[in-house]
Structure 1
Amino acid sequence: MTVILCTIMLVAFFAVMIFVGFYTRKHATDVNGFVLGGRAAGPWLTAFAFGTSYFSAVIFVGYAGQFGWNFGLASTWAGLGNAFIGSLLAWNVLGRRTRVMTQHIDAKTMPDFFGKRFKSTPLKVASSIIVFIFLIPYTASLYNGLSSLFGLVFDIPYWVVIAVMAVLTGFYVIFGGYMATAINDFIQGIIMLFGICAVIGAVLADNGGLLKAMQKLSEVPSEGWAGGAFTSFLGPDPLALLFVVILTSLGTWGLPQMVGKFYAIKSENDVHKGTVISTIFAIVVAGGCYFLGGFGRLYGDKITINEATGKPLFDTIIPTMLSTLPSIVIAVVIVLVLSASMSTLSSLVLTSSSTFTLDVIKPASKKEMTEKKQVSIMRIFIVFFILVSAAIAIFKDSHPEVTFIAQMMGVSWGALAGAFLAPFLYGLYWKGVTKASTVVCFIWGCAIAVIQLVITLAGVDISGWGTVLSYVFKSSINSGVVAMVGGLIIVPIISMFTKKQNKAELDELFACYEEKTEAVAREHLK
């Protein structure tokens, strides 16, 4: 029965995705349409595109299981941080200014923004290379967890699941570009909203209801606690939880695939509506995922344990929780996780291909490239990025002893946000930020990530590095937070002592914020 239900729902899901790809192909005839949807996406499409790009299967299967196991119900703070810092505050601080300035300087990607904001082609190329290096392993990580979930229902090889997901995502992105991605993100977002609510309800019912489940969880012991650690307000390790909240919430401000959503929104009124929609979406989806993961300890006797470390395999926690649920709920979860993965995958490959084409290939070309040729090259790179990420995921699954790929995934978020967040944020608001400070921030963010990678892979003993450094490089979460927060401090300090941009250039750049516009009274107050 479960197999039949899952098959029916997946076939319907695939059919809708393919139809959207065909339907939106008329919007993808030029670069502006293919990359930004003609900057005409409304609040619902933009908000759901932002949210579904934010929350992938990595969140639902990996992070929810890992942080729920480590912090209990307090892991819900990570979801609320994602909602109020990663969504609400991000939209309020970045949304309008990003839309206005990127349209004014005709920037279509984050590297393009750096190049035109600081009048520097080397900056554009350098940031493009950073995106290229760190988005590929991040893209490959999106397939994590699919194997164990599909294994609940289908007896098929893991590579088949990856191939189907990759081909379908590539199909609609290649045909319809940004608009196909945005519309499918909206559909996938609806599935995620209803799916997570259904799963939470089913898991709680399976444990006797909310109060009974919390009572069981409060009886689970933790080091230094007699009981109640996993139902306490801040959990057993508040400082570690704080680092998780900062990384997963503030990190979105510097990720090119997230910030890019603000480039495409249609109007000021849509920014206000999108802020509310995106925040509510994040509360339900992110808050729900981490809240669900908080009950993972109730299944401790069934979860697979890593014999080498004695710790659970975190990607198996959520699937284990779902294995006892009714067939219809499992079918919903399969489509939910596939939706979450495909929405983020489509956003990442579109970002990667457009960045590499517009910011590396086009400037290096000796001949003038037509709009049609640029779109064709982007489509080729979409195929390339999807093939590479799928190949990495399949290789990683068949060679579990290879840890390099997994560690690259862990540091990619911190590297991208650490390099880009501060110069992008300051670049929108402050005329005083300099090109030199941006270069230093790029180096800082990438260097922290590489050091973390080397320490983890080589098994370097950092206990003698001192209390602070040992804690910073204890995990990619801690070092990622240090990279981001450090960038916010480094950029203004370096800017105070380095060469400023030409005043006339800066005045022209920031003139976009002073332009007078007319609007109806229902959209703007006098």
Structure 2
Amino acid sequence: MAVDLWIFALCTAVYLAIVLFLGYLGWKQTKGTEDYMLAGRKVHPALIALSYAATFISTSAIVGFGGVAANMGMGIIWLVGFNIFFGILIAFVVYGKKTREIGQRLKAVTFPDLMGKIFNSAFMQYACGLVIVLGMPLYTSAVMIGGARFVETTFAMDYNLALILFAAITAIYVVVGGLLAVIYTDSFQAIIMLVGMTFLLVFTYVSMGGITNAHETLTNMASLVSDAARSQGMTGWTSMPAFGSPMWLTLVTTIIMGVGIGVLAQPQLIVRFMTAKDNKSLNRAVAIGGFAILMLPGVAYTVGALTNVYFYQEMGKLAVAAAGGNTDSVFPLYINMALPDWFVVIFLLTLLAAAMSTLSALFHAMGTAAVNDIWGRLRNKKPSLVETKTFVILMIIVSVALAYIMPGSIIARATAMFMGLCAAAFLPAFTHAIFSKKPSANAAKVSLVVGAVTWFLWTAFVHIKESEPLGLSMLFFGQKAILPMPWQVVDPIIIALPLSAIALIVVWAIEHMTASKDEETIKKAV
């Protein structure tokens, strides 16, 4: 399918002009470093919700997880429910309000800064900043790859050039305008994404003879599941894999739980709560955010599974086979083959919006963590605006470099990896920090270290998807993974998060008992 490059160029020019203008507005309203990091703490609830959703839903959700749905089926729809419940309702109403209140009282400007000030601990600020700086480029690179793959497929553009363009255009308004520019552009991009995904859902169902016919056809394709996939637990594309099977464990522990729970501890999302004027703003943001999350990933996962119907009818192949075995290429191929030219342009803008909205938030989060929570803390001096922008640029360069060396079919996995790491390292300590009257710094430190180290060890030596390509298990133990099945497909979050929480509870309990004994001793002495 040949896309009219003139139409695309015109639409893209208008889109970029609006994005850069919104970036300019953000720059005009950014007066200092705190404004650059927290947008003045008075963002409208609708903007918070749209920005949050656009940051959360990226090309990894659309391209990466859409490809996973084509491979594993509609069981991934459970992730949408988890995202709405944990990522919107619990995040905004339970965690968001406390985060905003404490962040404003302590004048925290980043997530590591918040943790450091709550626990009065330089270690917590350093450690949180280090996890972000080392782990977030993985996720950032996956987002860039998702957008670049679509451009490559659609316009036969060089993949490397597409990566550079994504990074460069996004960098302009992030570096210049700060978080306010990010929020303005994110909100605009969220609206584009909602329009594009709505068109995609309607067109897909209409072209397949309606909702009922589309789903019945996909259900009847269960007999086409290969013997290899069936041995892994695959039962069809409209049903869950067999309970306890390798595919079920991957879908549930890595995709649904890893991303569904991991969203609560995402630094680039947590900082959105600190931009709200008051708690009412967070309450008002829930409905908008919930609808956006329902539509954006919900459509991607549904259409992703249904691509099997199209490719089998048109090519006699299942979706992943039609895409050459690369799940990251399923969505771009479907859009280019199945939909009309005018929609390819719309969807490309949708993916541009998805990629750029998330990239801008990640660039901002990485850069501010590096400059404020590591560099600034080391010097015991608040960074200047110039230093802040410089570090943002450096983290952008690191992310682009990493994208060049990452393998195929990595988008969804890299996203789940980063979210799982954040949950294991941050979630117990973060929960303790904002809900405990007397948070224990020692308990938080031990929890963070146990969570991060356990996550890394399980990733490097047990979880076969990572241990095999990393090669550390083979180097030290002579085997791809040191534990047998089914442990090899149990995601690190299932092991690391509980151990992180247990470590926090144990240390807190020991401190509490010791303090109680000391009080009794003092009373007896008196």
1:62 aligned partner: 64
Aligned equivalents of 1:258, 1:380: Cα separation in 2: 22
Deviation at 1:346, TM superposition (A): 0.7
Report if aligned partners of 1:37, 1:177 keep a CA contact under 8 Å in 2.
yes
Aligned equivalents of 2:238, 2:507: Cα separation in 1: 44
Deviation at 1:285, TM superposition (A): 1.0
Q: 1:411 corresponds to which letter in structure 2?
A: M
2:16 aligned partner: 14
Distance 1:130 1:499, change over 3 A: farther
2:483 aligned partner: 465
Report if aligned partners of 1:203, 1:321 keep a CA contact under 8 Å in 2.
no
Deviation at 1:389, TM superposition (A): 1.1
1:421 aligned partner: 427
Report if aligned partners of 1:444, 1:487 keep a CA contact under 8 Å in 2.
yes
Residue number among 259, 264, 284 corresponding to 1:253 in the alignment: 264
Q: Give the match's secondary structure for 1:62.
A: helix
Q: How does 1:339-354 map to 2 (within 5 A)?
A: 339-354=353-368
Aligned: 1:191 with 2:192: yes
Q: 1:254 corresponds to which letter in structure 2?
A: A
Deviates more, 1:131-140 or 1:451-460: 451-460
Residue number among 229, 236, 240 corresponding to 1:229 in the alignment: 236
Distance 1:19 1:163, change over 3 A: same
TM-score of the superposed pair, with normalisation by structure 2:
0.85
Report if aligned partners of 1:137, 1:405 keep a CA contact under 8 Å in 2.
no
1:277 aligned partner: 288
Aligned equivalents of 2:267, 2:298: Cα separation in 1: 23
Provide the alpha-carbon RMSD of the alignment: 2.9
2:372 aligned partner: 358
Aligned equivalents of 2:232, 2:107: Cα separation in 1: 56
Aligned equivalents of 1:146, 1:497: Cα separation in 2: 49
Render the CA deviation track for 1:101-124: whole Å, top value 9, x for unaligned.
111111111111121111111221
Deviation at 1:230, TM superposition (A): 2.1
Aligned: 1:313 with 2:326: yes
Report if aligned partners of 1:217, 1:295 keep a CA contact under 8 Å in 2.
yes
Q: Give the match's secondary structure for 2:65.
A: helix
2:523 aligned partner: none
1:521 aligned partner: none
Distance 1:116 1:228, change over 3 A: closer
Residue number among 25, 28, 39 corresponding to 1:26 in the alignment: 28
Aligned equivalents of 1:225, 1:481: Cα separation in 2: 20
2:489 aligned partner: 474
Distance 1:199 1:407, change over 3 A: closer
Distance 1:409 1:212, change over 3 A: closer
Distance 1:502 1:241, change over 3 A: same
Distance 1:463 1:26, change over 3 A: closer
TM-score of the superposed pair, with normalisation by structure 1:
0.85
Deviation at 1:422, TM superposition (A): 0.9
Q: 2:176 corresponds to which letter in structure 1?
A: F
Identity %: 22
Deviation at 1:493, TM superposition (A): 2.8
Aligned equivalents of 2:292, 2:57: Cα separation in 1: 10
2:177 aligned partner: 176
Deviation at 1:153, TM superposition (A): 2.9
Aligned equivalents of 2:411, 2:18: Cα separation in 1: 33
Report if aligned partners of 2:363, 2:392 keep a CA contact under 8 Å in 1.
yes
1:384 aligned partner: 394
Deviation at 1:381, TM superposition (A): 1.1
1:517 aligned partner: none
Q: 2:489 corresponds to which letter in structure 1?
A: K
Aligned equivalents of 2:411, 2:90: Cα separation in 1: 32
Aligned equivalents of 1:226, 1:485: Cα separation in 2: 26
Deviation at 1:274, TM superposition (A): 0.8
Deviation at 1:355, TM superposition (A): 1.5
Aligned equivalents of 1:501, 1:180: Cα separation in 2: 49
Distance 1:286 1:408, change over 3 A: closer
Aligned equivalents of 1:14, 1:358: Cα separation in 2: 30
Aligned equivalents of 1:18, 1:500: Cα separation in 2: 57
Deviation at 1:395, TM superposition (A): 4.1
Deviation at 1:483, TM superposition (A): 2.4
Distance 1:191 1:501, change over 3 A: farther
Distance 1:447 1:364, change over 3 A: closer
